[in-house]
Amino acid sequence: MSRTILNNNTERHRYELIDDGKLVCFSEYDLTGRAVRFLHTEVVQGHEGKGYGSVLAKQTLDDVRAQHKKVIPICEFIAGYIRKHGEYADLI
C-alpha cells in the first residue's frame, strides 16, 4: 500500500485510490454549492480488508478540507469514518 495515489476523477464524480497502477477503491460524490456530498464508497473485489477504504476516506477528507469545502456524508462508510475520527467533524 506504499504506492497509493488519490485521484479526483471529476468526469466520473468520484475519488479513486490507485495502488500499484490499479484502482482499489472509490468514493462517488456530487457537488452542491460549497459542499461535497458523498454518495457511495466501494472497495474493488479482491482488495477488501486491507485498509484501502480508510486510506481513501482520510485522503479524500483532507482534500475536501484543503479546498475549504464542507461534507455531506450520505455514504455510511464516510459518515462512519468521520464518527470514528473526530478531527473531521468540523467538515460536516
d(CA 45, CA 85): 26
Q: What is the pLDDT of residues 18-41, one digit of tens each?
A: 999 999 999 999 999 999 999 999
* CB-CB contact of 26 with 56 (8 Å): yes
91 pLDDT higher than 80 = yes
- Hey, what's the torsion of the CAs at 74, 77, 83, 88, to 10 degrees? -80
Q: What is the pLDDT of residues 35-84, one digit of tens each?
A: 999 999 999 999 999 999 999 999 999 999 999 999 999 999 999 999 99
C-alpha distances out from residue 83 to 9, 27, 64, 91, Å? 26, 17, 17, 11
Considering the entire predicted model, what is its pTM? Answer: 0.94
Report H helices in the chain: 52-66, 76-84
